[in-house]
Amino acid sequence: MFGNLYWGEDGYRFFDNSVQLSVLAYRIIKNEGRHPELLTKIRGYFLEQRRLGDWRNTYESALILETILPDLLTENKQVQPSQIRLTGTDTKTIDKFPYSATLTDKTISISKTGSLPVYITGYQQFWNNKPEKVSKDFTVNTWFERKEKTITTLKGGEPVLLKAEVTARGDADFVMIEIPIPAGCSYESKEQQWDNNEVHREYFKEKVSIFCRSLKQGKYTFTVNLIPRYNGKYTLNPAKAEMMYFPVFYGREGMKQVVIGASGH
């Protein structure tokens, strides 16, 4: 999701995994010598894999260092620590990460020194009265289902499934999916599900928050068990998916209407 590149599948087959194949690709591209921008993105992938403080084993650590360390060394023959310089009303130099701040400057410039990459997220929050569908880093589609058939009108007292399909454009860690429920419905059951690398759910009166440790590139379906209670026409707020620590990577469904009618029984 951060724009880095790798080849292969993440796995534990010794000679057939994303580290082995990406090292091979790095060496081929480096020897070809015409795409230094690709090498930067592959180095970014290797450094991302060290997010827990180390690589998986001594062999892979040695392999990665042998491959990328020569390109990380500067003229001083050492890896320089990264610093961020924020220039606005005041000038700040940041060398301890993670760092967060609220900025009110109308104009600001950001520059970086050092050998290693730094990821920067900037965002503002506001109330959106008419949210449109956004298919950017994630695509989110929702529908109601009963007896494995998609339905458009709900019946009071008849349980339904609210399903949300999330398509991840790239691999993402620590993803939160929020699925609002209509005001005329309550939960038929509050199950914790373990598919899709899901680690926790929280059921609120107006929405379900689902937390996933990671989502590889691809499609995932999440299910909420509901029972319609009160007849009427209700607004269904947009479901959304976002990276918890980088909320600018997101996607959401559009605003919808749902009708609950009387049961036929």
Residues 61-109 pLDDT 10s: 999 999 999 888 866 678 888 999 999 888 999 999 889 988 888 899 9
Q: Is residue 36 part of a domain?
A: yes
Interatomic CA distance for residues 136 and 251, integer angstroms: 6
Q: Which residues contact 254 (CB under 8 A, 6 or more apart)?
A: 131, 132, 133, 238
For residue 156, what are the CA distances in angstroms to 185, 206, 229, 261? 9, 18, 5, 6
The lowest-confidence range among 70-84, 110-124, 212-226 is 70-84
151 shares its domain with 255: yes
Please determine, for residue 247, whether its predicted confidence score (pLDDT) is greater than 90: no
Angle, alpha carbons 231-236-239 (nearest 5°): 150
Q: What domain range is 88 assigned to? A: 78-120
CB distance 217 to 171 below 8 Å? yes
Residue 34 lies in a domain: yes
How far is residue 69 CA from its own chain's centroid? 29
Q: Could you tell me if residue 6 is inside a domain?
A: no
**96 and 162 housed in the same domain:** no
Domain contains 130: no
Q: Using an 8 Å Cβ cutoff, are 140 and 245 in contact?
A: no
Predicted local distance difference test score (pLDDT) of residue 28: 97
**Contacts for 263 with CB less than 8 Å, ≥ 6 apart:** 155, 156, 157, 158
- Residue in 105, 107, 40, 115 with CA at minimum distance from that of residue 83: 115
Residue 25: Cβ-neighbour burial (10 angstroms; 0-12, 13-18, 19+) = middle
Q: Which of 15-29, 113-127, 167-181 has the lowest mean pLDDT?
A: 113-127
> Quick one: 46 and 86 in the same domain?
no
Cβ-contact 228, 187 below 8 angstroms? no
Q: What pLDDT is stored for residue 265 in this prediction?
A: 43
Tens digit of each residue's pLDDT (9 = 90 or more) over 190-210: 988 888 999 999 999 999 999
Shared-domain flag, residues 59 and 88: no
φ and ψ of 46, to 5 deg: -60, -40
Whether residues 147 and 216 share a domain: the answer is yes
Residue 185 and residue 231 share a domain: yes
The alpha-carbon radius of gyration of the chain (Å, integer) is: 23
The confidence score (pLDDT) of residue 75 equals 61
For residue 162, is pLDDT > 70? Answer: yes
What do you get for the CA distance between the two ends of the chain, in Å? 49
Q: Number of structural domains, the chain? A: 3
Question: Quick one: which of 115, 216, 97, 118 has its CA closest to 168?
Answer: 216
Q: Is residue 1 part of a domain?
A: no
232 within domain boundaries: yes
Check residue 134 and report its DSSP letter: B
Same domain, 27 and 94: no
pLDDT (0 to 100) of residue 263: 60
Contact yes or no for 140/180 (Cβ under 8 A): no
In this structure, the answer to whether residues 108 and 54 fall within a common structural domain is: no
pLDDT above 90: percentage of residues in the chain: 67
Do 152 and 178 belong to one domain?
yes
Whether residue 203 sits in one domain with residue 178: yes
Give the pLDDT confidence score for residue 4 in this predicted structure.
93
The model's pTM is: 0.79
The enclosing domain of 208 has a CATH number of 2.60.40.690
